[in-house]
Amino acid sequence: MKPKRFDLLIFDWDGTLMDSAGAIASCIQAACADMGLSIPSREAARHVIGLGLREALIHLFPELPEAEYPLLADHYRRHFLGQDHDILLFEGARELIMELHGDGFRLAVATGKARRGLDRAFSHTGLERYFHASRTADETFSKPHPLMIDELLDELDISPARALMIGDTSHDLDMARNAGVHSLAAGYGAHPAEHLNAYGALRVCTSFVELANWLREHA
């Protein structure tokens, strides 16, 4: 086995391990329709994936009265929770996480989900046992602020040089850059691969298979 370049692999969840970007975008659009708001394009709805829910809604509707954001968030959650148990991991994701864990990597999650949402995803997939730590957007600052990564590095006693952030949005890659860690882009998720080329990732992978093979060969 090659010497490890990284000790800690930090995964985003939606659009990176779970094929949920399309469902999230549709639920954002449905919530906006419920509120009688202008419905964002699919591209605009996908762009805010990875941010905390409140931050995502503010980004889409910066002029919305403050009292309306919780209502819009509730509509989104109602739509998403009605289908999240049917959303699947990318093919091969479960096997990759088990393999990396078995190879001795420390594994973590840094996600725009709330803790309750990540715990539901852990329960549905059975993957919680393979992750050594996790951070969610309601526990700390939203991406692209580096605090999620900083806290994971502190908790697991890993230096930035030995950590890799793996995510499918510019928010993930900016967070990695802000935290001083390398990143790997999942260009098959919420943000298109061509959009991610400008964010300094070690590689922009256009399929989950490519990402898995890169980790096996270079991590």
* CATH code for the domain of 153: 3.40.50.1000
Structural domain ending residue among the three candidates 85, 119, 137: 85
Which burial class, exposed, middle or buried, applies to 86 when counting CB atoms under 10 A from its CB (0-12, 13-18, 19+)?
Answer: exposed
Structural domain for 151, as ranges: 8-20+88-218
The tens digit of pLDDT for each residue in 86-107 reads 899 999 999 999 999 999 999 9
The residues with which 89 forms a beta bridge, in sequence order, are 18
The tens digit of pLDDT for each residue in 77-86 reads 999 998 888 8
- Average pLDDT of span 147-151: 98
Rounded CA separation 176/171 (Å): 9
Q: Is the pLDDT of residue 1 over 70?
A: no
138/102 same-domain check: yes
200/123 same-domain check: yes
Which alpha helices (DSSP H) does 61-114 contain, by range? Answer: 68-81, 93-102
15/35 same-domain check: no
Q: Is residue 80 part of a domain?
A: yes
Q: So what's the pLDDT on residue 85? A: 83
Q: In sequence order, what are the residues at sequence separation of 6 or more whose Cβ sits closer than 8 angstroms to the Cβ of residue 157? A: none
Q: In sequence order, what are the residues at sequence separation of 6 or more whose Cβ sits closer than 8 angstroms to the Cβ of residue 145? A: 175, 178
56/160 same-domain check: no
CA proximity to 164, closest of 193, 203, 210, 128: 203
* CATH code for the domain of 75: 1.10.150
175/213 same-domain check: yes
95/178 same-domain check: yes
Q: Is residue 135 part of a domain?
A: yes
Identify the three-state secondary structure at position 51.
Answer: strand
Contact between 107 and 127 (Cβ < 8 Å):
no
| Residue in the block written with tokens 């779970």 | 18
**Tally of structural domains, the chain:** 2
107/207 same-domain check: yes
Q: Is residue 57 part of a domain?
A: yes
Q: So what's the pLDDT on residue 84? A: 80
Q: Is the pLDDT of residue 2 over 80?
A: no
Q: Is 136 left (phi over 0), alpha (psi -120 to 50) or beta?
A: beta
The tens digit of pLDDT for each residue in 156-183 reads 999 999 999 999 999 999 999 999 999 9
43/117 same-domain check: no
- Average pLDDT of span 3-14: 96
Structural domain ending residue among the three candidates 85, 111, 126: 85
Could you tell me what percent of the chain has a pLDDT over 70? Answer: 100
The tens digit of pLDDT for each residue in 27-47 reads 999 999 999 999 999 999 999
User: pTM score, two decimals?
Assistant: 0.94
Could you tell me what percent of the chain has a pLDDT over 90? Answer: 96
Q: Is residue 1 part of a domain?
A: no
131/57 same-domain check: no
